[in-house]
Amino acid sequence: MEIRSLAIDIDGTITDARRRFNLRAVELLRELEARGVEVILATGNILCVAEAAKTFIGTSGGLIAENGGVIKDPALGVERYLGDPVEVRRALNHLVARYSVTPVPQSELRKTEVALLRDSLSAEEVRRCLRGFDVEVVDTKFAIHIKSPQVSKGRALEELLEPRGVDLSTVAAIGDSENDRDMLERAGYAVAVGESSLADVADLVTTSAYGEGGAEALRHILGLLR
């Protein structure tokens, strides 16, 4: 099949549980780039972390940060913010008035969403507290995110690729968590890393998890190239 671009999550997909890069996965990403596949990093993390990862891995594609709330295409000089941060902040104020929660480090740099440490409250408890607010609560396995419902990695991927004229049918996607679901569903070919709950939107679920599963997924994508 024709694969022009690859959109891939970072945390838990090409890292271990401690968020350290799987170096084999990094090598395979560089191999894809060498074979003409533009790699797009799509993360729940903040933009500057994604930019650092892009530099050190050596990817050429755009960036999706904050679960789709921020998109950046360095080649076109485009940086955009999606969603409604005002409603997200209103929901957070409601939550902190009732519970003790801890934002993730560098939360002051987030532009479109809120991310909380998972040892504070469960995602379900946060959802119950925020009923009536126009927000979505997502557990990414590394943090609990409060974001606008219309924000997703899938929508951000479309917005990023449209100016380049890249059809989603030529895009592969790899992810490991519920925040990757929409991206996997919209891509022409999708691999879920060690997460059977994503099997309904994936063409393949890897047998391994975390960075080892990411490397497995990348080897599979390389095998699909013409």
CATH code of the domain covering residue 218: 3.40.50.1000
Residues 6 or more apart in contact with residue 172 via CB below 8 angstroms: 3, 5, 6, 7, 187, 188, 189, 190, 191, 221, 224
Asked if 43 and 92 sit in the same domain, the reply is: no
Asked if 91 and 159 sit in the same domain, the reply is: no
Asked if 158 and 210 sit in the same domain, the reply is: yes
Question: Is 203 a catalytic site residue?
Answer: no
Asked if 78 and 178 sit in the same domain, the reply is: yes
Asked if 75 and 159 sit in the same domain, the reply is: yes
Asked if 78 and 96 sit in the same domain, the reply is: no
* Helix, strand or coil, per DSSP, at residue 77: coil
Handedness of CA 42, 43, 45, 49 (dihedral sign): negative
Asked if 118 and 220 sit in the same domain, the reply is: no
Asked if 135 and 155 sit in the same domain, the reply is: no
pLDDT, one tens digit per residue, over 95-130 is: 999 999 999 999 999 999 999 999 879 999 999 999
Asked if 9 and 51 sit in the same domain, the reply is: yes
Asked if 109 and 210 sit in the same domain, the reply is: no
Give the span between the Cα atoms of 224 and 164, in whole angstroms.
Answer: 23
- Among 189, 195, 214, which Cα is nearest to 140's? 195
pLDDT, one tens digit per residue, over 183-207 is: 999 999 999 999 999 999 999 999 9
CB-count exposure of residue 178 (10 Å: 0-12, 13-18, 19+)? middle
Which of 9, 11, 176, 182 is catalytic? The answer is 9
Domain that holds residue 36: 5-82+151-224
Pair 134, 84: CB distance under 8 Å: yes
Q: What are the pLDDT tens digits along the chain (226 aa)?
A: 799 999 999 999 999 999 999 999 999 999 999 999 999 999 999 999 999 999 999 999 999 999 999 999 987 788 999 999 999 999 999 999 999 999 999 999 999 999 999 987 999 999 999 999 999 999 999 999 999 999 999 999 999 999 889 999 999 999 999 999 999 999 999 999 999 999 999 999 999 999 999 999 999 999 999 7
Asked if 34 and 135 sit in the same domain, the reply is: no
User: What are the helix and strand counts (H, E) for the chain?
Assistant: 7, 11
Q: What is the CATH number of the domain that holds 93?
A: 3.90.1070.10
